[in-house]
Structure 1
Amino acid sequence: MELEGHYREHGLLIAGRWQSATADNGQVSINPATEERLGYMPLATPAQVTEAIDAASAASAAMRKLTPWERTALLRRAATLIRERAPQLARIVALETGKPIAQANGEANASAESIDWFADEARRVFGMSYESRVKGGRYLVHYEPLGVVAAFTPWNFPLLLLARKMGPALAAGNAIVIRPSNEAAGATMGLVRCFVDAGFPEGAINLVIGKADAITPTVMADPRVAKISFTGSVPIGRQIVEMSAKTLKKVTMELGGHAPVIVHRDADIDAFAHLASLGKFRNAGQVCASPTRFYIHESIFDKTVKALVERSKALRVGDPLQQNTDLGPLTTSKRREAIERLVDEAVSEGASVLCGGRRPSQSGRGWFYEPTLIANPAPHIGLMNDEPFGPVGTLNRFTTMDEVITEANRLPFALAAYVFTRSMRNTLETTERLQAGVVGVNTFVASTAETPFGGSKDSGFGREGGPNAIRDYLDTKFINLELADDEPLDATA
């Protein structure tokens, strides 16, 4: 019940007014580490969603009137508030999702960095002017806000993924309607509150929480919503793309992955084992760019696997509110059940569990699962084909470059991939042949505020972050300027 007051103070945000929930009209929020009640989240009705779009539509005029420097100042204030409130925001994330507090605090500060980046980008939306084919004429290219945009975000990075959407949307001069995952609604409330307190125009930011069937169809059917930015699963992403066609909305899709990791024979084994144990099990593996399929050259397979297993066994599973916790619980009981089914299938098909593969023996309540590594899984099983989104990694040998590239690119996912090598030749050939929107070489860092993040194939399209992201929140206007033959050069004449 620790967040009950936070939920009561906030709730839905529509036209500048917070609307909280009660036990009578809300949905209970559960702490995944203790399975205790945190409080009640509001459930928006379709009518309230329409009210939020009404408010955003009205506020888009005020947003359009703000100068780029004014938008920069507002975003700067929001980023400052996020940094000041990072400890509180991180605690909410840890309580709602089970993310270890140290990782949650890092997410809060990364969110502020993203907002700071787009605060600068607000002043750098440069148009163009150049000579036309007509003597004395000019071609002008001008960028304008779309008006109303909508952001759909998941629970695994409730602060950062929303910041990546709010930053460019507001920097470009749009108003926004936000629909977060119910599992992390309180964290979203806290982040949105920073923008409200920063002084954005009333109605420019709206937050609707609740069931998808009460929110998504209303947002998608309204022609005033010009753009959707969605982060989530492939099946839901497909549905949103299909719905967007009816009103021809612009769409950005980030739909997850199943990232391969290629460890060449010349890799630094100790460095790889250290980074892989942290990268694989960060946020209990509930990361769309998480490394999941490890392909290790046969000449170093045994030594590398031994080092990785030792590192993984040393990770601390426990209370996400403790600073030294490496893995908290999975965010939902359904997620843990899905992981258990995938692991059971792998074992039944002959794979070897080298560590983990079960719930921690010392845990009572909470949706915990041990860091798990599985060697030599059959290629047809679920773990090798479906995004596990949990604390499980698979380990396989490879012999040749062609063999491992074919296997790495076999799946329809193309979000992230990773390479470990000390050879520039291996680096260039592997990164050029891998199909992925993001490739890390000797690192599992997949994104920063100033770099583009996104995938292709079933992992979606469009990019978030980096210098081009703001363009997806703008319309391009071409103006062909020709002076009338009898127009005086001096306008006062």
Structure 2
Amino acid sequence: MSTALSETAAATGYPSPALYIDGEWTAGSGDRTEPVINPATGEVLGHVPLATAADLDRALAAAARGWRVWRDTPVLRRTAILHRAADLMRERAAEIGRAMTLEQGKPLTESTGEAGRAAALLDWDTEEGRRAYGRIIPTGPGESLRVVREGIGPVAAFTPWNFPAGGPNRKIAAALAAGCSIVLKASEEVPATAVLLARCYQDAGLPAGVLNLVFGVPAEVSEHLIASPTIRFVAFTGSVPVGKLLAARAGSFMKPAIMELGGHAPVIVCDDVDPVAAAQACVRAKFTNAGQVCTSPSRFFVHESQHDAFVQAFVTATEAVVVGNGLEPGVQMGPLANARRREAVDRLVSESGAQVLTGGHALDRPGFFYAPTVLIDVPPDAALLTEEPFGPVAPILPYTDLDEVMDRANSLPYGLAAYGFTHRADRAEWLIDRFEAGILSINHAGGSVPIAPSGGFKESGYGREGGSEGLDGYLITKRVSHKLVL
């Protein structure tokens, strides 16, 4: 099937979505499908098969067998397979990136870069798997006491559409590096990217059943997988409401979980910085992936002394953003991923009562484009300030007192990301100490990196991905006390 997928990609430019179960590509046992829409044109790219209960049961059985095989595979052999898969992701970054842009909309430079970052994370997690050390605890003669860490078992993972390579591979890389098998339900809206990732693992020699990829009706799939006795751990990235439902369901079966949920990241610009440089850094981060990033800066608090200059520079940089089909050279921002996202963004803007300085409307062209938007004079009760916009919208608000604005920044139930701009070391440490967020950036608005953990708290979830902490949820700890003589 891998060859057939390659032939389809060569003929149409878009790989045929399929399920990957027990080392085989399949259209599944049912006849339900969903269309995959190109968000830049509104055209149908293909159809993704939706798994039936029988398909899910087959994937679960495969994961149970695959775990036993993978668990007993020597670590050096596992490492070689995973590093080879990462190499294949890099070699195929152009193919993966093109499929990603076609189905998700982001510019091709962002898509190919995402494929490369997915490979880098896999390399990092693979090496962390080799360092999942236990320890020896000193005891008396004739006895040993040690701590052992090993993979928890088969994992059920669920990922959204905004990062079609990075999202799925965060779950796959951590699970496989820890010695687990996985059943991944990737987004039906961006299936081809996940298919191409799975092909990298398949072609690297991953044993059948260790990785299983399914698509389906989200509620049906999550209920079926989480309830299965086969599944030992649940990993989810997505919205807060869905995360709460899945966490509750996992908890009802006493299954541990990682929940990487939404945010509404505040930015605090202090009175001692260059407002133009700060604005330009914020614009780059704000319109990455058309603002469809959980950590996207989305509430801009600027000291009143810098406010006007910051706003002017922000508007100038925003109006220079090139919007278009992500496959076209020079495009810096693509469409929103689907019609419902564009409608939600437009509602938040139109109902905000704010002054629109630029943008504030859908673009009159095929696809789901929305103009990069800057707002000022935003009423304090505007839904935009409490509901995650997940789109290319930047509300800018002045402040006078740093303590007061920090209270406003921390007032929401989210705690994922936060950003601060200051040239004073003491003030930077003050911001770090007081921001209630798991991911902090000072004087820049950078994204996730493999070598450091990402994750939030409060309603933004729990658990970490990346860094030395990235495998923690996928490992169990055994205490072993061994009397050497009966």
| Structure 1 residues 224-303: aligned runs within 5 Å | 224-303=230-309
Q: How does 1:51-70 map to 2 (within 5 A)?
A: 51-70=58-77
Percent identical among aligned pairs is 42
Matching residue of 2:55: 48
- Counterpart residue number, 2:87: 80
Partner of 2:460: 459
User: CA contact under 8 A between 2:276 and 2:309: conserved in structure 1?
Assistant: no
1:4, distance to aligned residue in structure 2 (A): 8.7
Aligned residue for 1:414, secondary structure, equals coil
Contact 2:297 2:419 in 1 (8 A): yes
CA RMSD of aligned residues (A): 1.7
Matches of 1:109 and 1:61 in 2, distance apart?
A: 30
Counterpart for residue 129 of structure 1: 136
1:23 Cα deviation from its structure 2 partner: 12
Letter in 2 for 1:146: I
Residue 8 of structure 1 contacts residue 21 of structure 1 at CA under 8 Å; is this kept in 2?
A: no
Cα separation, partners in 2 of 1:281 and 1:420, compared to 1, 3 Å:
same
Q: Which of the residues 192, 200, 204 maps onto 2:206?
A: 200
Q: Does the alignment pair 1:116 with 2:123?
A: yes
Q: Is the 8 A contact 1:71 1:122 kept in 2?
A: no
Aligned in 2, Cα 1:294/1:8: closer, same or farther, shift over 3 Å?
closer
Q: CA deviation at 1:135?
A: 3.7
- Counterpart code for 1:355: T
Per the alignment, residue 391 of structure 2 pairs with 390
1:210-237 superposed Cα distances (whole Å, 9 cap, x missing partner): 1113311110110210011100000100
Per the alignment, residue 344 of structure 1 pairs with 350
Q: How big is the shift at 1:25?
A: 3.6
Inter-CA distance 241–67: structure 2 relative to 1 (3 Å threshold): same
Measured against aligned partners, the alpha-carbon deviations of 1:123-157 in whole angstroms (never above 9, x if no partner) come to 1111100212x444221000121120011111100
Report the Cα distance in structure 2 between the residues aligned to 1:337 and 1:21, rounded to whole angstroms. Answer: 33
Asked if structure 2 preserves the Cα contact closer than 8 Å seen for 1:111 and 1:164, the reply is yes
Match of 1:34 in 2: 41
SS at match of 1:206: strand
Q: 1:8 to 1:422 in 2, by over 3 A?
A: closer
Paired residue for 1:359, among 353, 357, 362? 362
Partner SS, residue 252 of structure 2:
coil
CA contact (8 A) 1:269 1:304 kept: yes
Going from structure 1 to structure 2, the CA distance change for 1:192 and 1:376 (only over 3 Å counts) comes to same
Q: CA deviation at 1:20?
A: 2.8
Residue 30 of structure 1 contacts residue 38 of structure 1 at CA under 8 Å; is this kept in 2? yes
- Using structure 1 for the length normalisation, give the TM-score: 0.94
After the TM superposition, which of the residue ranges 117-126 and 388-397 deviates more from structure 2?
117-126
Where do 5+ consecutive residues of structure 1 fail to align?
486-493
Deviation, structure 1 residue 389: 0.3
Contact 1:416 1:446 in 2 (8 A): no
- 2:105 matches 1:98: yes
**TM-score for the superposition, normalised by structure 2:** 0.96
Quick one: structure 1 residues 8 and 345, their matched pair in 2 at CA, closer, same or farther if it must change by over 3 Å?
A: closer
**Where does residue 382 of structure 2 map in the other structure?**
381
| Distance in 2 separating the partners of 1:159 and 1:395 | 32
Equivalent position amino acid for 1:370 in 2: A
SS of the residue aligned with 2:123? Answer: helix
Decide whether aligned partners of structure 1 residues 294 and 9 sit closer, same or farther in structure 2, where only a CA change above 3 A counts: closer
SS in 2 for 1:90: helix
CA distance in 1, matches of 2:422, 2:150: 45
Structure 2 gaps, min length 5:
1-7
Kindly provide the amino acid, as one letter, of the partner of residue 120 in structure 2.
E
Specify the alignment match of 1:488 in structure 2.
none
Checking the alignment, whether the CA contact within 8 Å between 2:15 and 2:192 is kept in structure 1 is no
Q: May I ask how many residue pairs the two structures share in their alignment? A: 479
Tell me the equivalent position of 2:3: none
- Alpha carbons 1:69, 1:122 under 8 Å: kept: no
- Deviations along 1:347-379, one digit per CA (max 9) or x if unpaired, are 2xxx1111110123xx42110000001112112
Is the contact made by 2:337 and 2:368 (CA closer than 8 Å) also made in structure 1? Answer: yes
Tell whether the 8 Å contact from 1:147 to 1:225 is kept in structure 2 after alignment: yes
Q: Deviations over 1:377-431 (max 9, x none)?
A: 1122110000000000111011111111100000000000000111101100011
CA deviations over 1:234-271 (Å, ceiling 9, x no partner) = 01000001111232111000001000000001112222
Q: Cα 1:2–1:357, aligned 2, differ >3 Å: closer, same or farther?
A: farther
SS of alignment partner, residue 182 of structure 1: coil
- The one-letter code of the counterpart of 1:169 is A
What is the distance in 1 between the residues matched to 2:150 and 2:483? Answer: 22
